[in-house]
Amino acid sequence: MPKPATPKMRNPLVRLRPRTAFLGITALAAAATLTGCAQLDTTSPSTVRKDAVNAKAAQQGKFGTVDCRKAKCIALTFDAGPSENTPRLLKILKDKKVPATFFTLGKNHIVKYPELVKQMDAEGHEVASHTWSHKILTKIDPKEARAELERPNKAIEKLIGKKPTLMRPPQGRTNATVNKISRDLGLAEILWTVTAKDYTTNDSALIEKRVLEQSSRDGIILLHDIYKGTVPAVPGIIDELKKRGYVFVTVPQLLAPGKAEAGKVYR
């Protein structure tokens, strides 16, 4: 597996603003590491739904307005926000009646835009965690990794009255230690099946094309609302996938009547 880029490596992105450069560099390996570096099992949404039905679980997930056992569901997810682009995104989602899952960052994001986090929750979106400062959890010691996951949990709970139950590890990189910490904190790890690599381009048409080419039933689409080209691509993505018969749901709705279990990895 290629060695992931880090802020210490020479890269053209260092000419960008510090926050954008950091996120861009750490994202470069993401598309090639959908399941991270660890040899860990991942669970698909269809498996979660099937297991829940077979087990006749007493505590099942909420269906919301759609049963994904029957409908052709897909989940839009956004990493690393909120940002100055998020209000426009939330308006698009509201106008098109599409729920999404937001994997929010703590430092410079939740802290800077608390009202947007509240708005996400109030408008029916799932608010999840993308760690506090986007450190690669597999590259830091367990104590620091725990802090990276605990801090956004507390910040989100303070804003919306409930802790997140989902998290997305930066670059999708996870291992047994991250699994254990996640389990201890009540977090399931959510990866993705579709990536537009929107951290490499501001071409909205290209971002839309990449998403549409990769999308399939039970897909989990990875986008970032921090990049300029991403939000303008969202209306076209939604409209075309709706034409193809897809129904947009949050990640928990995608798994229902099953539920994501803390410490497990899903994609």
DSSP letter string, 184-223: HTT-EEE--SEE--TTS---HHHHHHHHHHH--TTEEEEE
**CA 241/CA 87 separation, integer angstroms:** 22
Out of 79, 198, 218, 225, the active site residue is: 79
Q: How far is CA 7 from CA 25, 26, 105, 140, 175, in A?
A: 6, 7, 18, 14, 22
CA distance 80 to 206: 20
Selecting among 198, 224, 225, 239, the annotated active-site residue is: 224
| DSSP 8-state class, residue 71 | S
User: What is the bridge-based pairing of β-strands 126-129 and 101-104?
Assistant: parallel
- Per-residue tokens: 208: 């839309």
Is residue 224 annotated as a catalytic residue, yes or no?
yes
Catalytic (active-site) positions: 79, 224
